[in-house]
Structures are given as C-alpha cells and as structure tokens.
Amino acid sequence: MATPVVNIEDLRRIVNRLLDRVEATGTTKIPLYETFYWDVPEEDRYGSDQRPGDLDVRSLHDDWDCIRFLLEEGEEPIIDQLGELATLLRYIADKLRETEDG
C-alpha cells in the first residue's frame, strides 16, 4: 500500500472550510478556559507498539501567545508554531463538540 501524502494546498483549503463552518455557526471567538494540557513527547508520539513514557505539561495560553505574534508585521513563522496551532485547533474542536452535544 502506498504511503499517504498530505498536499499542503489541499490542507489549507480544508482548514479554511472548517473555520468557515465554525464562523457560520456564529462562533468568532473561543475562550481558553483551560490553561494546561498533557503532551506526548515527540519521540513517543507516533509509536503504537508501547505506551508513551512520561508526558509533558504544556500551556494553551503560551501556545496562543507564540502563534498570535504571526499577525504582527515582520514576524516570520517557525515550524514549531504548526504544533502549537494543531493543539489549539484540537482544543477548539473539543469545545465546539461539547457545545453541540449540549
């Protein structure tokens, strides 16, 4: 079986459609009620043959602070910000799902 490949342009279009869907519900802001979350260290993240060892504690607030600077003129993105963005997108999905489930 061929290895799946993520096309970045397709991913961009998918993310835009999902965010458009969120905005269509009237949601334009998501409060970060929780501060901390568990994170599986990178070396353990993708191996499913054994449970991860120690978990890291990270901050949603710090993640948001790190990526929101990209809105400022002259700020250059760094690859690590993709991980911080991914965590925030997961948090948003969790909160929106809670709202839908009542």
What pLDDT score was predicted for residue 73? 82
According to the model, what pLDDT value does residue 18 have? 97
**Chain-centre distance of CA 53, in angstroms?**
22
Over its length of 102 residues, how does the chain's per-residue pLDDT go in tens digits? 899 999 999 999 999 999 999 999 999 999 999 999 999 988 888 877 888 888 999 999 999 999 998 998 888 899 999 999 999 999 999 999 998 776
- In 1-102, at which residue ranges do the beta strands (DSSP E only) sit? 36-39, 56-59
pTM: 0.87
At CA 26, angle to CA 21 and CA 29, rounded to 5? Answer: 95
pLDDT recorded at residue 5: 98
**Can you give the pLDDT at residue 23?**
96
pLDDT of residue 102: 65
